Structure 1
Amino acid sequence: MTSAAHGPCPAVGEDEAGGLLTIDLAALVANWRALAARVGSAETAAVVKADAYGIGIEQAVSALYGAGCRTFFVAHPVEGRRVRAAAPDAVIYVLNGLLPGTAAAYRAHDLRPVLGSLEEIEEWAAFCRAGAGRLPAALHVDTGMNRLGLRVEAAVQLAENTELLGAFTPSLVMSHLVSAEEPDDPINARQIAAFSHVRERFAGVPASLANSSGIFLPQAPHFDLVRPGYALYGGNPTPERANPMRPVVQLEARVIQLRWTPDGETVGYNGHWTAQGRRRIATLSVGYADGYLRTASGTNLKAGGEAVVAGVRCPFAGRISMDLITLDVSAVPEGAIQRGDKVTLIGNGLTIDEVGKRAGTIGYEILTSLGRRYHRRYLPATV
């Protein structure tokens, strides 16, 4: 198995691995179906960039394709090629657009670039005119992100440019919401209005605006196609409310040593955590090299991450290092945890969103950082 994010990775046996990453493909499929049921007649695609948010493109695409998903979004052509191998007849869009000189590679693997500038559009049109034929591509309109895409006024002008648009087939017009997870943010209404204005100029071309959180906005801006990503993998698309999605990922780490630390002694690099009384410390065989971010370190001044140990929430004690995490497990009955046991870093009530918050970041970063030294166990999709 290989990962676009982490490179080649030999299979790791469960007995030798410092951590066990369990990925529930049935939950992934259930989340896709739940989102599809919510959007009515709109098509539900799947965003599988960044190695399907860290869980594995091949496994995720195979499960989602088996459930009926037929359109996928990636960030780079190399990811698109991996999707193509798993779903030979799927529609695959490459969100980061068309790098100069790469049009032939898109054609070779039947990938559709998301064109977000006049330069990209002109290059794609010229490639099509040169003998490739009227190949499909998406048009990206910037309605407020100021990152990628044509500005609204440029998109309106493009709609009248029959020479450019006649060279290829616009198969989708799309934009990206800025603050969809905050339903009361007025930018949502402004973006929906701006996108609707552009969509009217591209009659007959399918339109897409909603990401995971956008699906749940009260305005229901589902248009013809929605593009969920984070929610598919168990992240909460409605942060101020209960999570409607099923958890997909569980991470367990091995305890490799237990020790008693005397009162007043420090644990970990630079001594940022000091034992308040005699404390029992468990050392886990996972660290920031495995994608568990150093920012989740626990100090005497700031609470960090937690693990579930024999049903008890236990705080991180000291800095997370490259390969190790230390926990204060003093609250766990002494016989309930032994060397070699597994404790839970994600799961058993520790949601991916909480893990991200405790690390001072978001669940997206946690998911996409999960390393390749874990033993990966895939629970099958039941479709």
Structure 2
Amino acid sequence: MNRPTLTIDAEAVAANWRDLAARHASSGGGATAAAVKADAYGLGAALIAPALAAAGCRHFFVACLEEALALRTALPDRRIAVINGCPSGTERELIANDLRPVLNSLEDCARWRNAAREAGRALPALLHVDTGMARLGLDAAEFARLRETPDLLDGIALDYVMSHLVASETTDAPENAHQAQRFAAIRAAFPGVTTSLANSSGIFFGPDFASDLARPGFALYGGNPTPEQKNPMRPVVTLAAPILQIRAIEAGESVGYNAIWRAERQSLIATIGVGYADGMPRSLANRMTARFKGRDVRLVGRVSMDLMTFDVTDHPDIAPGSMLELIGPGHDIDDVGREAGTNGYEILTGLGRRYRRVAKSV
């Protein structure tokens, strides 16, 4: 069936993980986990997670309990951490499914400590201390209180003490050095406890950011963890759509809603069945390029809910049914993110459900 197709290379994800794990180890770090939240960044955790496990990954991170429960079915014997913690009422499901909450507050600590008492055994968890994100994690006052009253962690078997980098995609951001210093102080407060710090980009920062467990996400899926340099990761996704119709228009005629593009010459306009309902933002209007046989094809006019239009005047070999590549090795998720005025993360996680999804065969 000739329809918009998203091809996903799970083996490339596994290879990217191996490369990141080797780089982390070469900097003096320990193990490397995989962030598979948001259904493996929109690509399907049921496909991606087993490939990562087969490659040797033993630690997985998701955002919420529902994601963890779904992942547990696919990974019965791997460690799964829940970043959003243990909201009240979730303790029994977490325990029953051998899931590890990330404790983000003193309330989380108290709740998990009480759950351990009720269970009659120590329960594993990760402790998150904020070093600059001001999002999740113990703030400075909570961390000070925890140090004064360590019994708040009674019955809790800490797998890792972790923090999250604020600006690791920018190598010279001052926040990076500040966070490394703060995290060093946190390590000193928990002698003997394993730690977790680096995300995808942080892995490339070397020994000062190495820890016992790195947590890459975006780079696994082909995103560039070093935006100031060439992307070292393998491409993972290709998105292609067939041309539904080609229309000839005269100079001066407009294309699409609000007439924001007008032809300066006689032009051929190709329409594909992909739009903002499929994850192509309206902000791409007059900015995006697709590819056909390695050549650029320019998007013209607004992105509609279900349709996009491209100027194919200079491509006489394009016909209805020809496939335009919207995402691929020559025009990746980071490129589309820049054209849309956002980032590759948003493009990747926003890819819609109407695409025919195909796992690339080896």
Report TM bin, short chain: over 0.9
Instruction: Confirm or deny that 1:28 pairs with 2:9.
Output: no
Instruction: Confirm or deny that 1:360 pairs with 2:341.
Output: yes
Q: Deviations over 1:178-197 (max 9, x none)?
A: 00011111111110110111
1:218 CA drift (Å): 4.3
Q: Deviations over 1:268-289 (max 9, x none)?
A: 0111111111111000011111
CA contact (8 A) 1:39 1:222 kept: yes
State how many pairs are aligned.
359
**Residue in structure 2 matching 1:306, options 260, 283, 289:** 289
**Cα distance in 2 for residues equivalent to 1:132 and 1:59:** 36
CA contact (8 A) 2:335 2:344 kept: yes
**Cα distance in 2 for residues equivalent to 1:49 and 1:368:** 10
**Residue in structure 2 matching 1:342, options 320, 323, 336:** 323
**Cα distance in 2 for residues equivalent to 1:112 and 1:311:** 46
Name the counterpart of 1:85: 73
- TM-score for both structures, normalised by structure 1: 0.91
The one-letter code of the counterpart of 1:20 is: T
Counterpart mapping for 1:6-21 below 5 A = 15=1, 17=3, 19-21=4-6
The one-letter code of the counterpart of 1:107 is: I
Structure 1 pair 179–292 and aligned structure 2 pair: CA distance change class (3 A): same
Name the counterpart of 1:317: 300
The one-letter code of the counterpart of 2:44 is: G
Structure 1 pair 28–220 and aligned structure 2 pair: CA distance change class (3 A): farther
Partner secondary structure for residue 146 of structure 1? coil
The one-letter code of the counterpart of 2:252 is: G
1:219 CA drift (Å): 4.8
Instruction: Confirm or deny that 1:234 pairs with 2:222.
Output: yes
For structure 2, the 5+ residue unaligned runs are: none
Partner secondary structure for residue 270 of structure 2? strand
Partner secondary structure for residue 256 of structure 1? strand
Counterpart mapping for 1:59-208 below 5 A = 59-208=47-196
Instruction: Confirm or deny that 1:272 pairs with 2:260.
Output: yes
Partner secondary structure for residue 264 of structure 2? coil
CA contact (8 A) 2:2 2:321 kept: no
Structure 1 pair 380–193 and aligned structure 2 pair: CA distance change class (3 A): farther
**Cα distance in 1 for residues equivalent to 2:121 and 2:283:** 51
List 4+ stretches of structure 1 deviating above 6 A.
none
**Cα distance in 1 for residues equivalent to 2:131 and 2:137:** 8
Tell me which moved more, 215-224 or 274-283: 215-224
The one-letter code of the counterpart of 2:39 is: D
Instruction: Confirm or deny that 1:55 pairs with 2:43.
Output: yes
The one-letter code of the counterpart of 1:342 is: M
The one-letter code of the counterpart of 2:143 is: A
CA contact (8 A) 1:297 1:320 kept: yes
CA contact (8 A) 2:235 2:329 kept: no
Tell me which moved more, 210-219 or 174-183: 210-219
Q: Deviations over 1:319-347 (max 9, x none)?
A: 00011000011121x2x111112110001
- TM-score for both structures, normalised by structure 2: 0.96
CA contact (8 A) 2:283 2:340 kept: yes
The one-letter code of the counterpart of 2:301 is: G
1:348 CA drift (Å): 4.0
The one-letter code of the counterpart of 2:281 is: L
CA contact (8 A) 1:183 1:218 kept: no
1:161 CA drift (Å): 2.8
**Cα distance in 1 for residues equivalent to 2:206 and 2:186:** 21
**Cα distance in 2 for residues equivalent to 1:173 and 1:159:** 13
Partner secondary structure for residue 274 of structure 2? coil
Q: Deviations over 1:354-374 (max 9, x none)?
A: 110001100000000001111
**Cα distance in 2 for residues equivalent to 1:172 and 1:380:** 36
Partner secondary structure for residue 277 of structure 2? helix
**Cα distance in 2 for residues equivalent to 1:93 and 1:360:** 32
Structure 1 pair 169–252 and aligned structure 2 pair: CA distance change class (3 A): same
**Cα distance in 1 for residues equivalent to 2:222 and 2:293:** 24
1:133 CA drift (Å): 2.1
